[in-house]
Amino acid sequence: VAVSTRLRSSADARSSRRVQWRAPVIQAAGRLRLADRLSSGVLGLAKPVSPTLRASRLLVRFKSLSSVSTLFSMPERRPFVRLPTDVYPVNYGLRLKPDLIDFTFEGKLEAAVEVTQGTNQIVMNCADIDIITASFVPEGGDEINATGFNYQNEDEKVTLCFPSILQKGSGSLKIDFVGELNDKMKGFYRSKYMTPSGENRYAAVTQFEATDARRAFPCWDEPAIKATFDITLIVPKDRIALSNMNVFDRKPYPEDHSLVEVKYATTPIMSTYLVAFVIGEYDFVESQSSDGVTVRVYTPVGKAEQGKFALEVATKTLPFYKDYFSVPYPLPKIDLIAIADFAAGAMENWGLVTYRETALLIDPKNSCASSRQWVALVVGHELAHQWFGNLVTMEWWTHLWLNEGFASWIEYLCVDHCFPEYDIWTQFVSADYTRALDLDALDNSHPIEVDVGHPSEVDEIFDAISYSKGASVIRMLHNYIGDEVRGHVQPADLWECLEQASGKPIAAVMNSWTKQMGFPIIVVDQEQNCPNWMVPISICTSEDPSCTKMKVLLDQPETTVNVTNIAPDHWIKINPGTVGFYRIQYSSAMLESLLPGIRDLTLLPVDRLGLQNDLFSLARAGMISTVEVLKVMEAFVNEPNYTVWSDLSCNLGVLSSLLSHTDFHEDIQEFIRNLFTPIGMKLGWDSKTGEGHLDALLRGLVLGKLGKAGHKGTLEEARRRFKEHVEGKQILPADLRSPVYLTVLKHGDSTTLDTMLKLHKQADMQEEKNRIERVLGAIPAPDLIQRVLNFALSEEVRPQDTVSVIGGVAGSSKQGRKAAWKFVKDNWEELHNRYQGGFLISRLIKLTVDGFAIDKMAAEVKSFFESHHAPAAERTVQQCCENILLNAAWLKRDAEDIHQYLLQRKAPPV
């Protein structure tokens, strides 16, 4: 049988059912791009063997005043001008002398510069730095002292004014300055740690991306303005002092014999945001990669053993990237170091990569499988940047997505090479691909490639669009053109190179994905028109689910292809491997034909996952009923795959959170217990001979889900094992700690919380502290929830981890969500001051308010942030308000149907 398949691409499709769906209550819920284009029902096919495929452009056109874009429009962008080009640096000679007692530093800059046209001023970036003196010495001329320093604090610039014209040519700019070792986890800052003897001390460390090198020294802090660096650090002689390059001279500091002067080799030409230095107390483990690069992993004192896993990953990874890029690693050494107070996961400073402790340290006995995997991915990501980002750098932050999206894609390639048993590409779909689709379904998403101006705008795009959608689109491109075509330049040049190498219209395809936000939905059986996407479509059939039967580029209003040799009982699957960055809505008949492929596992795991995830998203958008998704979820009764269960679990968690606003929340818990019990019984509590990494992940996931949902047997066993663990009789394996802790807390009292806080205090590993911090919010009693929130801001919790404690409270219950939001409002000044506009403030807001489902809460959140400005989180606030309205609409639309379905499931058969 030949199946005729029409591929259509459209901007708009409206039916009478569509109009009914657009009742005022839904309009008030706002504009969900993936919701607005298609019929709310899944239409049946007149001829089930002739599916019609189409792609829709998802640009929304609600005109109602109550639409989200009207209620929550983005503010006007702040005016911004990049640095003038009349003077640029060639080399920075930089000397820094940090004071680890008073938390200040002295600096001397002697920069070799080039004056391209005569000027009487030099404009540089400078923030939170006081310039003492500045002068310019033209080559072969006399020194000219600056007569004034004009600080533009809002734009983080300083203008050095000179009494005469600096003539075209080479010269030297000399600046003496002082600054503060701040406690904001950005720029040159202090990081608190505890010595093995229990004494609190401080390290001086750096985090310069995106625009914070200017807090350590006056500089041209734009990625395209590259130079070489000669760095000298004057530090206590009993401290480790590291920078991007190897040490080439170390000698006593003549003015103070307790100090040493450490000079580092000249760096390659590089951007300011990649400069780094660390001064503190560390141990290390060392090895060499097969191509002769010295690799060290620096750990807290006494914990060198915990650096061995990352060392193994790094030494395997460097040669892998050398072969992949066909370029050797260009520095003589690379250091990976664990920093106690660190806002991000890690930072790719050239030759000196900085990490949170939990992203680098692995204890052979006390680290769980998911931590090992996380460390492998983060090491793979940061080392990829040593080439793609450091050696070749984006011209401006507009192209951050290419830098981060590429590293987020290739980290999986690297981990798959090092640890094939992780099945990491299936996990990519759950961790990155679906996460990006979820965010990109919002009106307040943004294109992958977004114009960036003012520094406050840069932090906003360190998000799932730049990282996860970027990685997903690169994965789709990789699949479209094949592995043999490579190129390493900036976007327009890169597309041109790849186009020449592949013979395919790469620029046209990629521009449709990077320059507009959103994504198409490929809908089966409905009429549409007006193309706006160039969509690479792949098709497979049940004859060979692992093999793509045909590929087509959907670039016209209508394309017809014939899928040949399809038996009447065979299914057709669009987007095998879940590679194309789009959602699919099948007709009822096609969906029905795919269900046996879920039950008998003939559909590949990644496609079982993708099918369920698409349906869940379409239900949230109001395009199908949530009941349809619950019915499909029940088909996963034989599912063995960890990543598929993980995605199911995540979506059920979202639904459970939504239904916490109803009086039948317990019914969805029963559904969860029923769904997860068979796999829980099969796995049991204890690992079996021959089990591997994925079995450990699955056991933890399933037991945690059953325990949280109140499965009686799981709760009893968790309490028994927890008691033995606390008493020291039988220590819990690392992989069981999170599910056990979560279960006993969810059904615990003040004694449980006291015990857990005691375990937290006793924990020597940051991984264990974080494990406890993330689940504390599960405690149900209101007074205990308040205790957990107060604990979040205590000295017991590292500044960067406060966010996950508060987020854990908000995500655990309706009561927790209300309490967390009130706590954030009451403590806003302290929290905002702590994170100073970095991305942690965005994460805090999202975790706290995203789960609300009442229209008035969106207005309350909007109102609060209108009077409490958070410039780096403006887009996040818009997204959260939109999500709240969408949740409210979802609840109004589907709650009663879900309730009836869950009651019907419980009813005894007649």
Known catalytic residue at 829 = no
DSSP letter for each residue of 349-413: -TTEEEEEGGGT---TTT--HHHHHHHHHHHHHHHHHTTBTTTB--SSGGGHHHHHHHHHHHHHH
Q: What's the confidence (pLDDT) of residue 490?
A: 52
C-alpha distances in angstroms, 402 versus 136, 389, 416, 745? 38, 9, 21, 42
Q: Does residue 539 sit within a domain?
A: no
Question: What value does the mean pLDDT take over residues 434-447?
Answer: 88
Is it the case that residue 499 has pLDDT exceeding 80?
A: no
Domain boundary, last residue among 468, 486, 515: 515
Q: What's the confidence (pLDDT) of residue 907?
A: 73
Phi, psi torsion values for 529, nearest 5 degrees: -155, 180
Q: Does residue 861 sit within a domain?
A: yes
pLDDT tens, 566-585?
Answer: 777 788 888 999 999 889 88
| Closest-CA residue to 504 (of 530, 531, 532, 484) | 484
Catalytic one among 382, 460, 767, 768? 382
CATH number at residue 850: 1.25.50.20
Q: Does residue 666 sit within a domain?
A: no
Domain of residue 199: give its range.
81-280
CATH number at residue 194: 2.60.40.1730
Is it the case that residue 483 has pLDDT exceeding 80?
A: no
Are 775 and 832 members of one domain?
yes
Q: What is the reported pTM? A: 0.86
Range of weakest confidence among 77-81, 607-611, 782-786: 77-81
Q: Does residue 167 sit within a domain?
A: yes
Q: What's the confidence (pLDDT) of residue 535?
A: 83
Are 323 and 246 members of one domain?
no
Are 872 and 775 members of one domain?
yes
Q: Does residue 92 sit within a domain?
A: yes
Is it the case that residue 379 has pLDDT exceeding 50?
A: yes
CATH number at residue 324: 1.10.390.10
Question: What value does the mean pLDDT take over residues 785-799?
Answer: 95
Are 264 and 342 members of one domain?
no
Domain boundary, last residue among 472, 495, 515: 515
Are 168 and 249 members of one domain?
yes
Are 88 and 229 members of one domain?
yes
Are 288 and 159 members of one domain?
no
Are 443 and 463 members of one domain?
yes
C-alpha distances in angstroms, 900 versus 706, 786, 815, 910? 23, 35, 25, 16
> Is 385 assigned a ligand-binding role in the annotation?
yes
77 pLDDT band, cuts 50/70/90, is low
pLDDT tens, 236-265?
Answer: 999 999 999 999 999 999 999 999 999 999
Number of structural domains (the chain) is 4
Q: Does residue 658 sit within a domain?
A: no
522 pLDDT band, cuts 50/70/90, is low
Question: What value does the mean pLDDT take over residues 792-819?
Answer: 94
Q: What's the confidence (pLDDT) of residue 144?
A: 94
> Is 411 assigned a ligand-binding role in the annotation?
no
Structure tokens at 25: 């209550």
Calpha distance 629→617 (Å, rounded): 9
Q: Does residue 648 sit within a domain?
A: no
Q: Greater confidence, 462 or 355?
A: 355
Are 365 and 413 members of one domain?
no
DSSP letter for each residue of 161-217: EEEEEEPSEEEEEEEEEEEE-BSSSSEEEEEEEE-TTS-EEEEEEEE-TTTTGGGTS
Calpha distance 42→526 (Å, rounded): 9
Under DSSP, the state recorded for 430 is I
> Is 404 assigned a ligand-binding role in the annotation?
yes
Domain boundary, last residue among 485, 515, 545: 515
Report the relative pairing of strands 3-10 and 52-56 from DSSP bridges.
parallel
Are 794 and 854 members of one domain?
yes
pLDDT tens, 344-370?
Answer: 899 999 999 999 999 999 999 999 999
Are 891 and 767 members of one domain?
yes
Are 158 and 265 members of one domain?
yes
DSSP H or E run through 805: helix 802-810
Q: Does residue 410 sit within a domain?
A: yes
